[in-house]
Amino acid sequence: MGAYEVNGTVAEHDEEGYLTDIGVWNTDLADMIAKAENIDMSDAHWEVVNFLREYYEEYQIAPAVRILVKEMTKKFGKEKGDQKALYALFPYGPAKQACKIAGLPKPTGCV
Amino acid sequence: MADETNTKKFLYINRKAPYGTVYALESLEVVLIGAAFEQDVSVAFVDDGVFQLMSGQDTAGIGMKNFSKTYRALGDYEVRKLYVERESLAERGLVSDDLMAITYEDENEDYAEKPSIHFVDRSEMTKLISEHDVILSF
Amino acid sequence: MSTLHTVNKSPFERPSLKTCLDHVVQGDAILLIEDAVVGARKGGAFAEALSHKQASCSIYVLAPDLAARGIKAEDIAEGIALVDYGGFVDLAAGKARVCAWL
């Protein structure tokens, strides 16, 4: 257990760094979580994070990696909907690491 | 799809209403995780299980996550055969229009949206059970 | 290619047994285990439905669960066979699939 602190607000997270309350998420918080993960957020990173948040909003789950790849391909084209490209952005796994930055719970099925 | 010789037919049977017990949510999570193994998956809704697909679920008042929206993601996971038993609906005073519309995009037909839910009568449900290799009950 | 159906809830508590009986086909086997064994008692409300089903299916009850609940073998409805845990395994192995009614 612990908490992220940004601009005076405190956001609690679990032992793996996932936010306990997805409602407290904001972009400053995302930047801070990314920093803790050694990720410098670029536009490409934001595209993935925003996509995950939209997917979660619609379906109440974070998609598995292969679903993320498939849906990113549909939306942004083959270059971005590519597993290697996604792992280049999020070395510890696009679903796991990007979800953490997006303030979402750990994806179903991720151990 | 996986090589047909390695593909087994899985049928998940859901018979519990959501929220009162954890069966419905657990079943949904197992279906989503199991989808990674690229088997031939069907999901059946019998008895109170039909309530899992009710449209207009609002869990704000009970402080639980409304996971009904997640059924609509099943198509992305290639789970596209949902069977609802007509008799179970009728016994509960429900009609097909009381359920959510759940569709999938058919990549072989330019991503045309097609319905995932099939309404079957009891004898068809019975036949479905005897046509599957593995039955998982929730 | 038949199915072993297991039921583990009392028919007086849940519709599991009724739903099971509604979804069996000729040649299937039904095994009552845990609390479901209470439905097998002679003279009980479900004895007739179980007897009726025997025309198309074989019906079994798990003896240790029966004994645990103080129901004597001679008090179960006619035609229902008793099996032990080994018999449960044999039944499952002899069918193409197992379907649990919870």
Give the tens place of pLDDT for each residue, B97-138. 999 999 999 989 999 999 999 999 999 999 999 999 999 999
Taking each helix axis as running N to C, give the angle between helix A94-101 and helix A65-76, from 0 to 180 degrees, rounded to the nearest 10: 70
Taking CA C22 as the corner, what is the angle to CA C18 and CA C25, rounded to the nearest 5 degrees? 135
User: C26: which chain B residues are within 8 Å (Cβ-Cβ)?
Assistant: none
Domains of chain A, start order:
2-101 (1.10.10.370)
Residue B49 vs residue B34, higher pLDDT: B49
Q: In the prediction, which pLDDT does A110 show?
A: 53
Q: Please give the share of chain C, as a percent, with pLDDT higher than 70.
A: 100
**Chain mean position to CA B23:** 13
Residue B35 or C3, more confident? C3
Domain that holds residue B66: 7-137
Given A44, A64, A67, A110, which residue is catalytic?
A110
Q: Looking at chain A, which runs of residues are DSSP E strands?
A: 2-6, 9-13
Q: Dihedral of the CA atoms C64, C67, C71, C77 (nearest 10)? A: 30
Among the partner-chain residues C2, C23, C98, the one whose CB lies closest to the CB of B125 is: C23
Report the number of distinct structural domains present in chain B: 1
Instruction: Name the residue facing A60 among B35, B67, B77 (closest C-beta).
Output: B67
A63 touches chain B (CB under 8 A): yes
pLDDT surpasses 60 at A22: yes
Q: Which residues of B13-44 are buried (b: 16+ CB within 10 A; e: fewer)?
A: bbbbbbbeeebbbebbbbbbebbeeebbbbbb
Instruction: Name, in order, each residue with C-beta under 8 angstroms of B63's C-beta and a sequence gap of 6 or more.
Output: none
User: For residue B29, what is the domain's CATH number?
Assistant: 3.40.1260.10
Mean pLDDT of chain C: 97
Rounded to an integer, the average pLDDT of B17-41 is: 94
- Token digits of residue C91: 């039944």
At A111, the pLDDT band (50, 70, 90 cuts) reads very low
Interface test with B, best of A21, A52, A69, A108 (most B CBs within 10 A): A108
How many Å separate Cα C87 from the centre of its chain? 13
A110 in reach of chain B (CB within 8 A) = no
Q: Tell me the percentage of chain A whose pLDDT exceeds 70.
A: 96
Inspect the interface and report whether the beta carbons of C23 and B132 lie closer than 8 Å: no
| Architecture of the domain defined by C3-101 | 3-Layer(aba) Sandwich (3.40)
| Mean pLDDT, residues C83-102 taken together | 98
> Where do the domains of chain C lie?
3-101
- pLDDT digits 0-9 by tens, B3-27: 566 789 999 999 999 999 999 999 9
pLDDT of residue B20: 97
Put simply, the answer to whether B46 touches C19 (Cβ < 8 Å) is yes
Instruction: With CB atoms and an 8 Å threshold, state whether B122 touches C97.
Output: no
Q: What is the pLDDT of residues A49-100, one digit of tens each?
A: 999 999 999 999 999 888 999 999 999 999 998 999 999 999 999 878 999 9
| A110 catalytic per annotation | yes
- B57 in a domain, yes or no? yes
Tokens of A4: 């992220």
The kind and range of the H/E element at B99 are none
| pLDDT value at residue A8 | 82
Asked whether the predicted pLDDT for residue A37 surpasses 90, the reply is yes
B2 within a domain of the structure (yes/no)? no
Calculate the alpha carbon distances from A30 to A72, B100, C29, C73, C93 in Å: 20, 34, 57, 66, 53
Task: Assess whether pLDDT exceeds 60 at residue B2.
Answer: no
Q: What is the pLDDT of residue C54?
A: 96
Average pLDDT over residues A8-14: 89
**What is the per-residue pLDDT for A9?**
83
Residue B1 in any domain: the answer is no
Residue B30: inside a domain, yes or no?
yes
Query: pLDDT tens-digit profile of B43-100?
Result: 999 999 999 999 999 999 999 999 999 999 999 999 999 999 999 999 999 999 999 9
Structural domain contains residue B131: yes
Cα end-to-end distance, chain B, whole Å? 26
For CA atoms C51, C57, C62, C65, give the dihedral sign. Answer: negative
Q: Tell me the pLDDT band of C11, cut-offs 50, 70 and 90.
A: very high
